[in-house]
């Protein structure tokens, strides 16, 4: 279907809800843009923008009518593709039953190009290997992805360096570009599932001017990246395991794991076990884990990576180098979340630039 133009988002939200989707979009909560379920487009973070710098996030007033004038939220699609906690199975006697948790139909409204790239990375991890995960596939198939092309990249963004944005070109069901004067949205369709939804909205065909204005939004965004990474030769640079830089960054790093929690691609997990007192059923739970914890690498009572520099090096090297060896793609999509949400403002782009 050719691109269309819609004037407001309310019909879209209504159409999605009528189609059985919980609509999850960006709202203001505790002075941060968070993703949560909305029942009306009125709830969206219209008129707000954000200021993001290393270790710093501030909500600010933006242009009153614009709905999507901010960059990445600490939330990402990861909470929906790989829930923070999920029950794996229950065992009682000789019976083992998979949990088969529900995969709710969710429409994620307001994903950015980097977020779509991060979902593609997770698809590769959970579906592309020798042991594809049927629960991931169920959740993934229940997600409808509605992208918004970035107009106002944040101070910590570098999707252009990672070749993942700022424009959503693939991996979405619908993609919106928000335009001003007059306020409207160009809607592109990216899948068979997106077609009937777009068709059901009150719309008009996009004109040549609409399309040109939409392309201009992305061209302009690409020129306003807050940060940059030189990816040429990055694997060689990260093979400098003995650089003094690791000790320097390790001395600043609190190993708090914030960076891995906000990262939309970090997939590491661990397991927890519990037994019911009433009937003896044993239950296994998988939950997010982080390479910054000490017991992550514990073998025979001693962590392999016992020092902060060792753990920081593992994270940075994995994201930007060994991930490519493992999955044929970078583990970083350039969303900047880890930089913004690092309590001491450690900036991966700066660390990479300062390696030999």
The residue ranges that bind ligand SF4 (CB under 6 A) are 253-259, 262-265, 292, 319, 332-338, 342-344, 346, 348
Instruction: Determine the Cα–Cα distance for residues 12 and 17; give it in Å rounded to an integer.
Output: 9
Applying CB under 6 A, the span of 1-9, 234-242, 295-303, 333-341 interacting with ligand FAD comes to 295-303
Q: Which is nearer to another protein, 37 or 98 (CB)?
A: 98
**Per CB under 8 A, which of residues 278..297 are in contact with another protein?**
282-284, 286, 289, 291, 295-297
Based on the shown chain and the rule CB under 6 A, indicate whether residue 244 belongs to the binding site for ligand FAD.
no
Closest distance of CB 72 from ligand SF4, Å? 7
If you count them, how many residues does the chain have? 356
Burial code (b: 16+ CB inside 10 Å, e: under 16) for 53-72 equals bbbebebeebeeebbbbbbb
| Nearest-approach distance from CB 292 to ligand SF4, in angstroms | 5
* 300 touching ligand FAD, by CB under 6 A: yes
Using rule CB under 6 A, residue 302 touches ligand FAD: no
Dist CA 124 CA 333 (whole Å): 14
How far is it, in rounded angstroms, from Cα 206 to Cα 214?
A: 10
8 Å CB contact between 113 and 167: yes
Q: Is 57 helix (H, G, I), strand (E, B) or coil?
A: strand
- Residue with smaller CB distance to ligand SF4, 201 or 338: 338
- Shortest approach of another protein to residue 185 CB, angstroms? 34
Region for 325 from its dihedrals, namely left if φ exceeds 0, alpha if ψ lies in -120 to 50, beta otherwise: alpha
The conformational region for residue 181 under phi > 0 = left, psi -120 to 50 = alpha, else beta, is: left
The entry of another protein, ligand SF4, ligand FAD, none that residue 98 binds, CB within 5 to 8 Å by partner kind: another protein
The residue range among 12-20, 179-187, 294-302, 330-338 that interacts with ligand FAD, by the rule CB under 6 A, is 294-302
Min dist CB 261 to ligand SF4, Å, is: 8
Is residue 48 a contact partner of residue 69, using CB atoms and an 8 Å limit?
A: yes
Instruction: Rule CB under 8 A: say whether 233 interacts with another protein.
Output: no
**Is 111 within 8 Å of 175 (Cβ atoms)?**
no
């Amino acid at each position: 279907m050719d691109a269309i133009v819609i004037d407001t988002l309310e019909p879209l939200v209504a159409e999605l809800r009528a189609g059985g989707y919980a609509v999850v979009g960006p709202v203001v909560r505790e002075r941060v843009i968070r993703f949560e379920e909305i029942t009306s487009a009125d709830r969206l973070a219209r008129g707000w923008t954000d200021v993001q710098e290393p270790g710093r996030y501030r909500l600010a007033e933006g242009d009153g009518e614009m709905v999507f004038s901010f960059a990445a939220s600490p939330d990402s699609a990861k909470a929906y593709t790989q829930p923070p906690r999920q029950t794996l199975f229950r065992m009682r006697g000789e019976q083992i039953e998979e949990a088969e948790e529900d995969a709710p139909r969710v429409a994620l409204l307001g994903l950015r190009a980097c977020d779509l790239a991060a979902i593609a990375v997770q698809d590769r991890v959970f579906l592309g290997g020798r042991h594809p995960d049927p629960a991931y596939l169920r959740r993934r198939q229940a997600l409808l992805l509605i992208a918004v092309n970035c107009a106002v990249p944040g101070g910590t963004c570098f999707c252009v360096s990672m070749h993942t944005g700022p424009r959503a070109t693939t991996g979405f069901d619908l993609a919106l570009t928000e335009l001003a004067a007059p306020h409207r949205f160009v809607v592109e369709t990216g899948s068979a599932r997106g077609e009937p939804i777009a068709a059901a909205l009150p719309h008009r065909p996009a004109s040549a001017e609409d399309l040109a204005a939409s392309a201009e939004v992305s061209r302009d965004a690409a020129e306003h990246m807050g940060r940059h990474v030189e990816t040429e030769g990055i694997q060689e640079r990260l093979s400098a395991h003995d650089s003094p830089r690791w000790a320097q960054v390790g001395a600043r790093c609190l190993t708090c794991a914030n960076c891995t929690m906000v990262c939309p691609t970090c997939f590491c997990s661990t397991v927890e076990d519990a037994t019911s007192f009433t009937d003896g059923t044993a239950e296994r739970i998988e939950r997010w884990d982080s390479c910054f914890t000490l017991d992550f690498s514990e073998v025979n009572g001693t962590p392999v990576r016992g020092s902060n520099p060792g753990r920081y090096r593992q994270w940075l090297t994995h994201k930007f180098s060994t991930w490519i060896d493992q999955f044929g793609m970078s583990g970083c999509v350039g969303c900047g979340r880890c930089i913004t949400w690092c309590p001491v403002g450690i900036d991966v782009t700066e660390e990479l630039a300062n390696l030999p």
